[in-house]
């Protein structure tokens, strides 16, 4: 394996910064110093650097600030003492051994999209972004994906084969974090969660061993890697995932404005989704941004977005009750190649500071719930950045898997709910507090309509009873697996699986 040169690294990280459009938002001065006094000696860091195929970045090194930046800028103040840009499993093993030897916390990062900032640390950050090779075996229908691959790279590699790996719509989410905590997108009702499609994975555990996990080898760890959540059992270095043939699909985007009957539109849209075949998927959302739903605003507040594995004419028939109940202000319904549909549905996000909450619903939101949503959206604090409430169709292939067959327990819901509020990193504390208070109060008011569960990939650091909310009846078995593979609780986050209940 060739070593990564500093020039190549700087070229890559510079491109990433431009791609994300975040260079101007960078809260860390390039070349900042951590200034912390705990940790290994400088000689130990030098030895680590010399033993890597990849690269070690320390505070002050070119590229350190950008590489260490989490997607959720609410956690931008946490600065790793070192960042290992791993070039392969050997670097991951070396990093785990180094962190253990020096008593440093270590966390893995793939796409860096943890809502709760769990892929940053004041210790050692094990960055996998260079381990992003994707290989397709068309005869077996398997994609072999390096743990550092981002979803747009996976989509781009599989598309020429007319196949898909069921994943999510955000281009820059990492396959590793997504898959380990489940992973849903517009194809999940048809092909299952990303984790349901995992055939094998390789993981470096806390003892530094590289283990293969599948139905026969380390089956308990294989079970836990399908929904048990990232950062718990080790550092996965690769995933072998089933692919599915795809051709043409239909997509739709409907938009309603401030003056439309949003309650009628919401109700009709979710009713259609609730009874639609598995070929149909929906993300229904209402957004208020800093322009606000006030006079002079963009006037588009509510969006239904989705995909249908079938012709556009059938999709139009399915959506007809929505057009009857509350005609959208704008609508697009079209047939596209699967690759173009992926682009149509894609989300290109930029890092910001936010708090996200999730929940599940067993059926459509009743009128009282819709009224509560509209009331809170209109009361979003005016100085905050934006607030959202979304529901996503669940069910289909997702719910055909028994809740204990893998670590992913949420197998009976009709809709997943996600809501967030965000603020600017330079906002005064009063604005940050108002944003957080808004979402807390909003979610409290909505509890009567929710099941009590939450999605472990939408980690909410404020959630108190996260063990039952994320993992339900699978939690005790996850604790057993943790005790087997990480008895010292080396991989340890605020909401990671403990070694004891
Ligand atoms: C804008 C945005 C859109 C999203 N859209 C969707 C969506 O449509 N569907 C969906 O299901 N989810 C979605 N998510 C949530 C996403 O699935 C989770 O945030 C996921 O954990 C991100 O994975 P990552 O690799 O990018 O994140 P990271 O922050 O790198 O990792 C997340 C967690 O996994 C751990 N981890 C990372 N890599 C490894 C590894 N190789 N081995 C072991 N542990 C590891 C980290 O330590 C951390 O605890 C979205 C998130 C964002 C920010």
Pocket of ligand 1 contains residue 70 by CB under 6 Å: no
pLDDT higher than threshold 60 for residue 451: yes
pLDDT at position 138 is 84
**Listed residue (180, 240, 193, 267) closest to 481, CA to CA:** 180
| Confidence class for position 34, pLDDT limits 50, 70, 90 | very low
pLDDT at position 20 is 45
Mean per-residue pLDDT over the chain, rounded: 91
Pocket of ligand 1 contains residue 169 by CB under 6 Å: yes
| Separation of alpha carbons 304 and 283, rounded Å | 6
- Centre of ligand 1 from the C-alpha of residue 323, in Å: 36
Pocket of ligand 1 contains residue 231 by CB under 6 Å: yes
- Name the residue of 20, 22, 173 to mutate for ligand 1: max ligand atoms within 8 A of Cβ: 173
| Separation of alpha carbons 107 and 176, rounded Å | 13
pLDDT at position 432 is 94
Pocket of ligand 1 contains residue 111 by CB under 6 Å: yes
Over residues 53-64, the pLDDT tens digits come to 999 999 999 999
| Residues 220 and 304 sit within 8 Å (Cβ to Cβ) | no
Name the E strands within 310-456. Answer: 330-337, 353-361, 386-393, 415-423
pLDDT higher than threshold 50 for residue 7: no
- Centre of ligand 1 from the C-alpha of residue 105, in Å: 19
| Separation of alpha carbons 132 and 4, rounded Å | 14
| Separation of alpha carbons 178 and 113, rounded Å | 9
Kind plus residue range of the DSSP H or E element containing 8: helix 6-20
pLDDT higher than threshold 90 for residue 139: no
Residues 6+ apart with CB under 8 A from 494: 116, 118, 461
| Separation of alpha carbons 496 and 501, rounded Å | 12
pTM for this entry: 0.93
Q: What percent of the chain has pLDDT over 90?
A: 83
Pocket of ligand 1 contains residue 181 by CB under 6 Å: yes
Q: Map out the domains of the chain with their CATH numbers.
A: 6-127 (3.30.465.10), 134-245+473-485 (3.30.465.10), 248-449 (3.40.462.20)
Over residues 286-344, the pLDDT tens digits come to 988 755 544 444 456 899 999 999 999 999 999 999 999 999 999 999 999 999 999 99
The single-letter DSSP state of residue 72 is B
Pocket of ligand 1 contains residue 117 by CB under 6 Å: no
Structure tokens at 206: 């806390």
**Listed residue (180, 193, 116) closest to 397, CA to CA:** 193
| Residues 27 and 352 sit within 8 Å (Cβ to Cβ) | no
**Listed residue (286, 433, 294, 452) closest to 360, CA to CA:** 452
């Amino acid at each position: 394996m060739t070593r990564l040169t500093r020039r190549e690294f700087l070229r890559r990280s510079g491109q990433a910064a431009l791609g994300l459009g975040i260079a101007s938002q960078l809260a860390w001065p390039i070349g900042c110093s951590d200034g912390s006094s705990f940790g290994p000696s400088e000689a130990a860091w030098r030895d680590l650097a010399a033993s890597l195929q990849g690269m070690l970045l320390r505070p002050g090194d070119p590229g350190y600030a950008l590489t260490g930046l989490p997607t959720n800028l609410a956690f931008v103040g946490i600065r790793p003492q070192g960042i290992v840009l791993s070039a392969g499993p050997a670097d991951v093993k070396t990093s785990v051994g180094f962190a253990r030897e020096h008593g440093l916390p270590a966390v893995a990062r793939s796409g860096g999209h943890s809502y709760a900032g769990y892929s940053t640390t004041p210790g050692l950050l094990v960055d996998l972004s260079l381990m992003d090779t994707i290989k397709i075996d068309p005869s077996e229908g398997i994609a072999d994906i390096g743990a550092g691959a981002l979803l747009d790279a996976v989509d781009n590699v599989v598309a020429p084969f007319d196949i898909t790996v069921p994943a999510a719509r955000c281009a820059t989410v990492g396959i590793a974090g997504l898959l380990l905590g489940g992973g849903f997108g517009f194809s999940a009702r048809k092909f299952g969660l990303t984790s349901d499609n995992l055939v094998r994975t390789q993981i470096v555990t806390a003892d530094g061993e590289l283990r293969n996990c599948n139905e026969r080898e380390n089956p308990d760890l294989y079970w836990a890697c399908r929904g048990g959540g990232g950062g718990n059992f080790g550092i996965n270095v690769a995933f072998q995932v089933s692919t599915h043939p795809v051709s043409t699909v239909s997509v739709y985007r409907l938009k309603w404005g401030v003056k439309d009957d949003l309650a009628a539109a919401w109700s009709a849209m979710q009713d259609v989704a609730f009874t639609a075949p598995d070929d149909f998927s929906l993300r229904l959302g209402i957004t208020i941004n800093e322009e606000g739903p006030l006079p002079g605003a963009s006037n588009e507040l509510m969006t239904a977005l989705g995909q249908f594995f079938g012709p556009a004419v059938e999709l139009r028939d399915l959506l007809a009750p929505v057009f009857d109940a509350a005609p959208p202000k704008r609508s697009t319904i079209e047939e596209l190649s699967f690759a173009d549909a992926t682009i149509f549905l894609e989300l290109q996000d930029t890092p910001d500071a936010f708090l996200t909450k999730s929940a599940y619903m067993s059926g459509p939101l009743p009128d009282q719930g819709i009224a509560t949503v509209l009331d809170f959206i209109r009361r979003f604090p005016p100085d905050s950045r934006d607030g959202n409430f979304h529901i996503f169709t669940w069910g289909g292939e997702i719910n055909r898997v028994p809740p204990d067959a893998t670590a992913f327990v949420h197998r009976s819901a009709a809709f997943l709910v996600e809501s967030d509020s965000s603020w600017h990193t330079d906002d005064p504390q009063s604005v940050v507090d108002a944003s957080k208070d808004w979402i807390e109060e909003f979610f409290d008011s909505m509890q009567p309509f929710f099941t009590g569960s939450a999605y472990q990939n939408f980690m909410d650091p404020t959630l108190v009873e996260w063990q039952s909310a994320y993992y339900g009846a699978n939690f005790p078995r996850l604790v057993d697996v943790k005790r087997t593979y990480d008895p010292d609780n080396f991989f340890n986050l605020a909401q990671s699986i403990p070694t004891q209940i």
